[in-house]
Amino acid sequence: VYDEYMSNFEIYLEQKLAADFSDNVLEIANTLSSDKYLQACKELNLKIHPARFPSELPEFFIKFLTDENDIVFDPFGGSCVTAEVAEKLKRKWIVSEIAEEYLEGAKYRFFDLDKSVEKSK
């Protein structure tokens, strides 16, 4: 009886989980191989953050959870994808990042490489 109950329960659980979660999954490709950030890092020989994610991910949550002029906080700023999206969506943003070398390249999400290099000469 126990085995039959567990078997039925496992089937129920599989069906329930499949039904409940299938509509709650975001499917976002992470195939971007060239953007302002990557170009700047390559041209200036800066360390590229190894765990970048597509802008559609923070964009979904920022639109869902905030309004214009709200503040978005990203405690693991990395290459500042979240900050860039927040700015485009007219949100204020605060980022922290323990590895300062990643922020060197991240600033080029907000400034043109040519203008920044000219100013530093």
- Convert the pLDDT of each residue in 10-23 to its tens digit: 888 777 776 666 66
- Give per-residue pLDDT as tens, 28-61: 877 777 788 999 999 999 999 998 889 999 999 9
Distance, in Å, from the CA atom of 79 to the CA atom of 107, rounded to the nearest integer, reads: 8
More confident residue, 26 or 103: 103
Which DSSP string do the residues of 75-112 spell out, in sequence order?
A: TT-TT-HHHHHHHHTT-EEEE--S-HHHHHHHGGGTS-
pLDDT for 55-94, tens place per residue? 999 999 999 999 999 999 999 999 999 999 999 999 999 9
Task: With a cut of 80, say whether residue 118 has pLDDT above it.
Answer: no
Query: 29-120: what CATH class?
Result: alpha beta
What tokens were used for 6?
A: 């567990």
Q: What is the pTM of this model?
A: 0.72
